[in-house]
Amino acid sequence: MKNLIITLFIACGLAQLPGCKKYINIVPDDVATINNAFTLRQEAIKYLFTCYSYLPNDGSYNNNPAFGAGDEVWQSPYFQNTSQDPIHIAMGQQNSNGPLMSIWGNMFNALRDCNIFLDNIDHVVDLEPYEKTRWVAEVTFLKAYYHWLLLRQYGPIPIVEKNLPISAGIDEMKIKRVTVDSAVNYICRLLDTAASRLPLTIADQSSELGRITRPIALSIKARVLVTAASPLFNGNTDYGSFKALDGKPFFNPTSQPAKWQRAADACLAAIQACNTAGVKLYKFSNSLITLPDVLNTEMSIRNAICQKWNSETIWGNPNSRPSAWDGNGATSMQTLCIPRLDPSRLANQVPQAQLAPTMKMVELFYSMHGVPINEDITYNYADRYSLRTAVDSENYYLQSGYQTATINFDREPRFYADMAFDGSQYFMANQMWGIQAKMGQSQSQKNTSGYSITGYFTKKLVNWNYVIQDGQSVTTDDYPWPEMRLADLYLLYAEALNEADGPSSDIYQYLNLIRARAGLPAVQDAWTQYSNNPSKFQTQSGLRDIIRQERGIELAFEGSRFWDLLRWKTAITEWNKQVVGWDVTQADPNFYYRRKILYTQIFQPRQYLWPLAVQDVTINPNILQNPGW
């Protein structure tokens, strides 16, 4: 399809050359044109899927900066199985000569194709009216979504409402950015238009899952508006001098609380649509296996991500599937996360386990009582790095009789569902595996790459059916990457409500629904009974901290924290800290369990927005470079 468009532009370009005019109306029989693409339904649907094809592969470490460009995971410096770009961004090495992980050009190609589709779909002669309405709504959504991805990454952006004609002059081609508020309003208008015409659910689930529905459109609108109401975009005085050529500020320097209410309204509308469509928080259920309550809870947490098309998935992207293989078995997300579980198959080098959670993430998760470990009045926070031996009653999470760090004890179920570590248990469909990761043990470093540099393993993204086999063979269930799930939407709603009006029963309700699935007591009970700050949940600032930590935990390793820290403007604090793990080169537990500084991150204010390539700004000075670049 892209070749079709290139052919068209080449043909049009040649038509402008002297001596070529007599060939304008001559098209060889075997050369495709736009008219060919929109003559019949069977051709037009290919163009529809071309518009879908630009959706980012967010389930891939190499394609999604939110996995490796922040502070959730770290890895060894050899990079033999992944792109170096994400961690180079995390190390402060972004640049404007060749911006790392830039989506600028690709998204504008996507917008061009969306506009071509919308301009030509009326020409299809055998398309039923109801189907045309749906297709137009889907591409209208995609057009909004591609603008949104640009806005989130670059701030003020150009709006591509219509494609420029081939006859456009050079000055017309030098497009300009619009203000952030204008871009947000434009995106939301498109999303509203799309939502009003999209189906509530997918009727043909055998072939159409992943296509856009009304709950998807409304949920993405909620995400857009929460981001637009957040400190990076709402009243950000740091960008006071960042102005268009006409002198108009790109960012409104005055914070507008009404934006939070608008976001809350959008979240509620999305929740109501999800309820009507039957979307609900996932709870593990399998007729072939009976598990104790503690493992049922763990599987509810893990499979909310890894169970394909589960009840919580609002939008799953079938073109982005964390699988066992990517063609060479080295870079798929599940492969990058799972350790070599089976001691009898240590020669199998497919499992890499190199996306290693940082100590910061270890400390983020709550205690078993559902409050931060530095607040829990029963938690031995001061001695959290000392050694302790697990007992039989802890055997579902920890290996009985095994010595590990105190910080790994008495934590909430999401901690054990999301991460594994030396001394932990790793439940899979075929059996329970014990992780032993000190030097010389089964899950320790074997090569210069493909190991956990922190001593922790990202369990959350690995499907429980992953099996390590003989030789270099593995099998697993892949799953469509959850671009949006219900827990995320609930947390966005809680955040918007709190920022708009402060604590309320509605906020507690949605927080507690998520906490109950995770096996935790209600916010009110947990803080009242176990926190050294028992009234924290009763103030707006205190509840803000709770909601943000709840997002960090519930959505850990899903690509949420990266964008959250940017929109909250807290990256300047969080990404100017040390990256820490255990000393994984040691065999003796007294030496292994010493905190080791792996890197000291450096984050500058300019990194809140991506740079445009110098070449793009040189070609089109109207586009303007982002501040600091």
Q: What is the pTM of this model?
A: 0.94
Give Cβ neighbours of residue 540 (< 8 Å, ≥ 6 apart): 498, 499, 502, 503
Q: What is the pLDDT of residue 32?
A: 58
Q: What is the pLDDT of residue 20?
A: 35
Question: Are the beta carbons of 391 and 400 closer than 8 angstroms?
Answer: yes
Of the candidates 147, 151, 149, 140, the one whose C-alpha atom is nearest the C-alpha of residue 191 is 140
Phi, psi of 390 (to 5 degrees): -75, 150
- Spell out a b/e string for 133-149, using b for 16 or more CB atoms within 10 Å of the CB, else e: ebbbbbbbbbbbbbbbb
Question: Are the beta carbons of 412 and 368 closer than 8 angstroms?
Answer: yes
**Neighbour-count burial of 493, counting CB atoms closer than 10 A to its CB (0-12 exposed, 13-18 middle, 19+ buried):** buried
Most confident of 116-120, 346-350, 472-476: 116-120
Reported as a pLDDT band with limits 50, 70 and 90, residue 275 is very high
In 375-462, at which residue ranges do the beta strands (DSSP E only) sit? Answer: 387-389, 403-405, 419-421, 425-427, 432-434, 456-458
- Arithmetic mean of pLDDT, 473-481: 93
Instruction: Give the H/E segment covering residue 596.
Output: strand 595-600
Question: Are the beta carbons of 367 and 411 closer than 8 angstroms?
Answer: yes
Strand pairing partners for 372?
A: 366
Give Cβ neighbours of residue 496 (< 8 Å, ≥ 6 apart): 225, 226, 229, 260, 261, 263, 264, 267
Q: How far apart are CA 98 and CA 91, in angstroms?
A: 16
* Whether pLDDT at 14 is above 90: no
The string of pLDDT tens digits covering residues 580-601 is 999 999 999 999 999 999 999 9
Question: Are the beta carbons of 503 and 537 closer than 8 angstroms?
Answer: yes
- Arithmetic mean of pLDDT, 114-119: 98
Q: How far apart are CA 167 and CA 36, in angstroms?
A: 22
Reported as a pLDDT band with limits 50, 70 and 90, residue 326 is low
Q: What is the pLDDT of residue 79?
A: 67
In 3-state terms, the chain is what percent helix, strand and coil (to 5)?
A: 45, 10, 45
Of the candidates 100, 168, 181, 114, the one whose C-alpha atom is nearest the C-alpha of residue 146 is 114
